[in-house]
Structures are given as structure tokens and as C-alpha cells.
Amino acid sequence: MMKLADCLLNWYDECKRDLPWRRDKDPYKIWVSEVMLQQTRVEVVRAYFERWIERFPTLQSLAEAQEDEVIQYWQGLGYYSRARNLHQGAREVATSYDGQMPMTKNEVAGLSGIGDYTSGAILSIAYDQKEPAIDGNVLRVFSRLYCIEGDIATPMIKRQIREQVEKEMAIDRPGDFNQALMDLGATVCIPKAPRCEECPLLKSCCAKDKGMQQQLPIKKKKVPPVPVEVVAGVLQDGELFLLRKRPKKGLLAGMWEFPAIEIPVGENSMEVFQRGFLCETGQEVQMAKLLLQCIHIFSHRKWDISFYHCTYEDGNRPLGKDLFWVNKSDWDKISFAGPHRKMANYLLNEMD
């Protein structure tokens, strides 16, 4: 009987996806693609990756870039800590490794933002090292192959699956083996309705044999994001609008927004915003027209955000720490935080 790895690689050679980061074995491109693919679908990542590589074609070019520009080129992918860690990691390689990606597990995993999965992907694909790269796709495939009925989010089950992956891994083509598992999980062994008849590992699949392929894997349900009401104020002075730069740490760190305040449950939203704005700037504002309302979902919280046009007393332009009056012509040079980009685009379209 043909080995699992041979069946998988034969299928991969015929059916592998044509992805821009697979056209060479540049560890930098592999790194960028793997970070982008965290929490984001391949179809979305493709265009972002090509745009990114056009602007930052080498690790050194990324290391030399300013953070604001890096975030700007990441805008739309979300989870911005990924971009900051990638940028910081590139600087670490430039400083500590003379601009050359290191080649050992400890060194690669020691870079900012690189965990066990990403280090395994880089080392196996770029350097042909026998390192597993276990993501959600691989956990799903192996939980079905071996009828593993424990929660795949627990360390014990992850360790069990890792041992099985290491046992089955192709020694001569570890990078292709890892990418084949990724492709299999993404296109055939999919979450809700696996396409078992298309699977090259069908005859080896314990879950299929027992009719359990739709019950596996087992994974504890995520806690739903906490709903949070947010009010933001849009203040204008000619071509200038009042913007705030968010703190360097925390949610949407370092990004730009229209001044916004979270509203405690049960309190009057307009009153809370006016009090908060007065405390921050020393100026009173009046809430006028509701311009835009939208929902923005993060992993742990769900913003219900309302943008109001605000007026203030003539000659008393509000000022404060981290607050700036920015010309709308410069908005394409800055990175707006989450839903604030929608508000900026709305204003640009309304003013054109």
C-alpha cells in the first residue's frame, strides 16, 4: 500500500494551487504570506501580497520602512499587530543576522511575531528542513484521518497530532508535504462538508470509514465578542478635520480615528461623548447630524459605532494630546482605524 506521504504528494503535484508566494523559495516572501494568511482567506491575501512585495520587495526594504507606511500597506487585512510584528521581525533580522533569514528553529521562532507554525513553514518550505507546520487545516485533516475525538484546541491533542504529522512527513520533500496538507484542508477536507470522494487519502481516513467526517474535528466554541457602543465626533474647519492618533499599544495601536469614546452600558451616549470630549480638549461641542452608523467586529469585541457631525464655538478650535487637524487631501497617507476608514471615505465622497 502506498505511503500516506506519497499519496498526498502525488495529489499535490497535480492539484496544487498557483499562489504568488510559491513561485520561489524566498524565506522573506514565505514569511510575509504566512503572516497575511493568519485570520485571512487566500483569495483576499493574494492581492495584498503582490502589492506588499511591489513596495517592500526585500526584507531589508521592509526593515528600513517607517511603521506608518507599513500599516498603510496592511490596511484592510486587520489584526494590525501582525504587521507591526512582521516589521519588527524584519528589523531584528537586519540587525542581528546581517539581513539574512536565520536557518535554525530557535532563531526563527525567536523573531517577533513568529510562532511554532510560521517557523515550521519557513524552515520546511524555504530550507527543506523536516519541520511540521501545523495550522487549522492540518489539525482538521489529521483529526479525521485518525479519528481523534479530543478538542483540537487543547495542548494535549495538538501534541498528539504533531507526533502523527512528524511520523508521516516526507523526509525528502517536507515543505511540499506541509503545503500539500494546507491545500488539502483548504480545498478538499473542508470544515462542514468535506469532499471525501476527491480526497487522495480517502482509503486511509478513519473518520470516513466510521462515518464521522462531519463530526470531526471537535473544537470548543469561541466566546462571542462583547458588544460595545462607541460614539465618534466629526469636527471640521474648512478643509481640516480633527483626528486622533491612538496609543502605541492596545487595540488598533498607532492608527488614526475621529475622536471616539466608548459608552458604558445604560448611559446616555451623547452626554458621555460631550463630557469626555470636554475633559480631553477643554472645549464643549454640540452633537448635530448622525452621519454614519456601522458595526465592526474584532475577535473579542463588537463595536456599534455612530459618527456624528459636531459643532463648536467659533474661534475655539478644540486641541489636545494626540489630536491633530488634518487636511482631507492627506488622508490617503495615513492609516485609519477600523471603521474610521469608512467614515473618511464617506466624507471624501460627499465632498467630491
Q: 309 and 285 in contact (C-beta within 8 Å)? A: no
Contacts of 264 (CB under 8 A, 6+ apart): 272
- DSSP secondary-structure letter at 322? T
Measured distance CA(239)–CA(257) in Å, rounded: 17
Measured distance CA(140)–CA(185) in Å, rounded: 7
Measured distance CA(352)–CA(348) in Å, rounded: 6
34 is annotated as an active-site residue:
yes
Contacts of 200 (CB under 8 A, 6+ apart): 7, 8, 10, 11, 184
Q: Which residues pair with 291 in a beta bridge?
A: none
Of the listed 14, 34, 43, 313, which one is catalytic? 34
Measured distance CA(231)–CA(67) in Å, rounded: 28
Task: Give catalytic residues, as residue numbers.
Answer: 34
